[in-house]
Amino acid sequence: MAAPELTPDSPMRVLVTGATGFVGSHTAMRLLESGHGLRLLVRDRRKAEHIFGPVRLRDVELVVGDVSDLGLVREALRGCDGVVHTAAVTPVGLRPDQDLEAVNVGGVRAVVGGACEEGIESVVYVSSLKAIFHPDASRMTAEAPIAKSRLAYSRSRARAEHYVRSVQQTGAPVMIIYPGSVLGPDDPGLSSAAAALRDRITRRFTITSSGAQQIDVRDLADVVTTLIEEACGPGRFLAPGHFLSWSEMADLLERLVGRSLERVHVPGWRLRLSGRAVDWLRAFARIDSPLSAESMRHATRWPPVEPSPELAEMGVVFRTPEETFRDTLLWMCEAGHLDRAFAPGLEGVAGADR
């Protein structure tokens, strides 16, 4: 069934997957604020009701189930004008009856492929800059090849990326967004980026080569909403956010929390060697740690990447790192993820309107 033709200012009905996650929940809220109707594909109804509340859910349709369920997904797609696919799982987030291939690859095939078969004219797939990582920034472009990985999770995301690109090659109106590490307030859980931020404040801050590129989750939601509304056909867009060296990030955090952080300087080569050692150990035992050769390459060799110029032409503006970190830290204190004793400088500080 073909979706109705859209006009630029007409409200849309948008299916959002992963709407109880960090990126998905912010995107859904942003679409609601823009006047669009929502249909949310979620695994947990109670979690959705907790995040969105009874008032917002009056204007939202909930579909409960897995993104890998072809029949359910096809029903959820019917009558929609746009689709945003953010759903994915990590090994830590898997249930016993799931696997990475079923959700991260099968889910993409069901949602993105199904949307194209339904004739939906505006489809956004949220990927990651890590999918096209290269230590040379000039080679991290919208046309960059997909990075190879030895990790099961990254390989599953790479296979999903290959599939979405193959769909784009047919001319299907699928847009891929490559965000940097996502940070910000109001996380339904606690993202790995926020957990790492907490550790840097409460334990020690490792200073090494390179730095990190982070986008505010609210800015990413703006990017997704803009692309859904523009419906500009197949395209790839880099949304890296701001780059800070590790020293610059530590300086900024010290100003915000109002105290000195314990800094430990470690050469990049040593961290990369540690990552390779952990990868070797994984051949003999299960190790639940983010440390790997791949993660250490990202941490020690990440280059500053510029956003796609099309985003500025569409009016997208990115918050400053100071606003992102301040609002994230304030939320972490309010939510009980960070003891205010570690951030005396935040006492009496007001955050931006979230």
pLDDT top residue among 351 and 33: 33
pLDDT of residue 4: 36
Helical axes 192-202 vs 321-334, angle rounded to 10°: 80
- DSSP code at position 347: T
* pLDDT at residue number 76: 96
pLDDT on residue 288? 72
pLDDT at 111 over 50: yes
- Average pLDDT of every residue of the chain: 90
Cα–Cα distance, 76 to 67 (Å, whole number): 10
Please report the domains of the chain, with CATH numbers, ordered by start residue: 13-183+213-241+303-318 (3.40.50.720)
Q: Which residues contact 351 (CB under 8 A, 6 or more apart)?
A: 185, 326, 327, 330, 331
Percent of the chain predicted with pLDDT > 70: 92
CA dist 223 and 240 (Å) reads 11
Strand-pair partners of 14: 38, 82
Is pLDDT at 2 greater than 80 in this prediction?
no
Pull the structure tokens for residue 4. Answer: 């109705």
Write phi, then psi, for 205 (nearest 5 degrees): -110, 115
pTM of the model: 0.92
pLDDT tens, residue by residue, 20-52: 999 999 999 999 999 999 999 998 999 998 888
pLDDT score of 145 more than 80: yes
Backbone dihedral angles phi then psi of residue 69, each to the nearest 5 degrees = -85, 100
